[in-house]
Amino acid sequence: MKQARRAADPLKRDLSPAILDFGPVRFTLARHFGFCFGVENAIEIAYKTLEAHPDRRIFFLSEMIHNPDVNTDLEDRGVRFIFTPDGKQLIPWSDLTPEDIVVVPAFGTTLEIQDALKAIDIDPYTYNTTCPFVEKVWTRSEELGQAGFAVVVHGKAKHEETRATFSHSVQSAPTVICRDLDETETLCEVIRGNAEDGTFDRVFGGKCSDGFDPEQHLSRLGVVNQTTMLAAETREIARRIRQALVDRFGEDQIGEHFADTSDTLCYATNENQNATYALVEEGADLSIVVGGYNSSNTSHIVDLCEQAMPTYFIRNADEIVSRDEIRHFNLLTRAVDTSRGWLPRTQARVALTCGASCPDAIVDQVLNRVLSLFDDARSLEDVLADYPVQEIEAT
């Protein structure tokens, strides 16, 4: 289906979801979902490394991507993870030798970890799967610092990618991490000079570079992001910060105080999010979003869907227990809930999508699992016959 859509719309102008009507259940499938270029590249390098070095110990700095099925498969093949996603070290550096292979994940890593690997005589760039769009953010941060700007990183301070971006950014620019619009409003009040004394330290202490001086460094700013955050939110954060600087310095001086960094937004994340907006607009009785529970980009897709309909965030088809029961992750409580009576008995309309780190095969399994709950559903072959299968074969 994805290949057929690409063939029919190579410029990706049509964001409308595909509709698969099986009779008693109808799926609306997002125009864009699943692996982006950075994830595909990381996985390809990871498995080629395993194939090329069967006799060497292979470590990954942390999870290759935030998908439990992919990471479990890698562990089953002998891979070991040095860090947990939140930065806890599982394997001490002293256990590694120069003969070991260490693979850097798609999120990238910090300069401090790179230095630790070099101290063991392990080159951190030989097996580096860092996403090019993450590296683009690092490059832009460096350019901002060289031009005399401070950097605001829109991201989650404990996320691997944000930790890596922060590590690179502080080498050339005063840097502060801003998580959301609420924190942005606080930062804007500090910029305008309207905040109470100590506000910056209370909200951003521990999330800014050493020696960050709000009075000095919040006068010239550029905004970059953790590439898995909502692009629309990053744009809004940049807009609000720009307006705060206009309020402080005037529109005629804004070129000296605000840098346009819109070119750093990840196109793939943006495409998936825009496709989710179109999926929601189509309407459904419920949505199923598939992905790892610690996946940032997937959680944002869940947020968008939850605003419009009951949404079930699942990691794979095993979470669909029966027609009456489903296990799903609750973003608010950070725990797995069980819901009953989740699926309409007839004429069920199900919106289906997944995060950028979820393999298509898992989405297939989820779709087939839901189909198996309807005895009188049309076969997958019959439904696909309604689409240009010859285009799929040709690609």
Q: Which residue has the higher pLDDT, 64 or 297?
A: 297
Please state, in angstroms and as integers, the Cα–Cα distance from residue 107 to each residue in 17, 63, 142, 238, following that order. 29, 9, 18, 23
3-class secondary-structure state, position 80: strand
Residue at token pair 């954060």: 237
DSSP 88: -
Q: What is the mean pLDDT of the chain?
A: 92
Structure tokens at 198: 């100590």
- Say whether 390 sits in a helix, a strand or coil: helix
Q: Would you state the CATH architecture of domain 2-36+268-394? A: 3-Layer(aba) Sandwich (3.40)
Residue 391 has pLDDT above 60, yes or no: no
Residue 388: which pLDDT band, with cuts at 50, 70 and 90? low
Inform me whether the pLDDT recorded for 136 exceeds 60. yes
Residue 284 has pLDDT above 90, yes or no: yes
Classify residue 197 as exposed, middle or buried by CB count within 10 Å of its CB (0-12, 13-18, 19+): exposed
pLDDT above 90 as % of the chain: 77
Q: Which residues are catalytic?
A: 161
Q: pLDDT of 83-135, one tens digit each?
A: 998 889 999 999 999 999 999 998 999 999 999 999 999 999 999 999 999 99
Q: CA gyration radius for the chain?
A: 23
Q: What is the pLDDT of residue 67?
A: 86
Q: Are 354 and 288 in contact (CB under 8 A)?
A: no
Q: What is the C-alpha separation between 170 and 176, in angstroms, rounded?
A: 9
Q: Which pair of tokens denotes residue 199?
A: 């506000």
Virtual CA dihedral for 307, 269, 342, 2, nearest 10 degrees? 130
Torsion over CA: 102, 105, 111, 113 (sign): negative
Domains 2-36+268-394 and 37-119 in one fold = no
Which of the residue ranges 252-256, 308-312, 330-334, 384-388 would you say has the lowest mean pLDDT? 384-388
Tell me how far apart the alpha carbons of residues 206 and 210 are, in angstroms, rounded to a whole number.
9
pLDDT tens figures, 149-189? 999 999 999 999 999 999 999 999 999 999 999 999 999 99
What confidence score (pLDDT) does residue 66 get?
A: 82
pLDDT of residue 232: 87
* CATH T-level topology, domain 132-226+229-265: Cobalt-precorrin-4 Transmethylase; domain 1 (3.40.1010)
Residue 48's pLDDT is 94
The pLDDT of residue 389? 45
* Domain regions of the chain by residue span: 2-36+268-394, 37-119, 132-226+229-265
Domain 37-119 top-level CATH class: alpha beta
